[in-house]
A and B are shown apart, each in its own frame.
Chain A
Amino acid sequence: MSSTHNVEYQKKELPAKIRTIGLVLFIIGLIGVAASYLTDSSRSAFNNIIMLSFLTSVGLGSLFLVAVEYVAGAVWSTPFRRIPEFLSTILLVLPVVVVPLLFKLGDIFHWMHPEVVEADKILKGKAPYLNVEFFMVRVVLFILLWIVFYYFITRTSKKQDLTFDPSLTKKNIKLSAAFIPVFGITISFFAFDWLMSLEPHWFSTIFGVYYFSGSILAAFAAVTFVVVMLNENGYLVKGLTNDHYYSLGAFMFAFTNFWAYIAFSQFLLIWYANLPEETFWFLQRWEGNWIYYTIGLIFIRFAIPYFGLLSQPSKMDPKRLKIMSVWLLFAHWYDLYWLAMPNYSKDGILFSWIEIAFPVLSVGIVILLFVQLSKKNNLVAIGDPKLKRGIDFRL
Chain B
Amino acid sequence: MDWRQRAGREPHIAGIRRSFRDLEAEQQQLLQTKQIDAERTAGDWVRLLAPLAAYDAEADKLRSRLGGWMLGIGIGGFILAIIAVAINPIAGAAIAVAVIVAELVLLPNYRFTKKLDVNRTPLEFVTGVAPILREDCSDDGSLHLRLDMRGAIMNEKETGKSQPYSRGRYYRIIDTYYMDPWCAGGAAFVDGTQVQWIATDYVRSQRKTKRNPRGKVKTKTKNKKKTNLDVIVTFTDKLYDTAEGTSGPDRQLKKAKVKDGGPDSKTVVRTRRTIKSPSAQTALDPRHLVDMIAASYERVKPTRRKKLAG
Q: Bound pair: A and B?
A: no
B interface list, Cβ under 8 A from A: none
A interface list, Cβ under 8 A from B: none
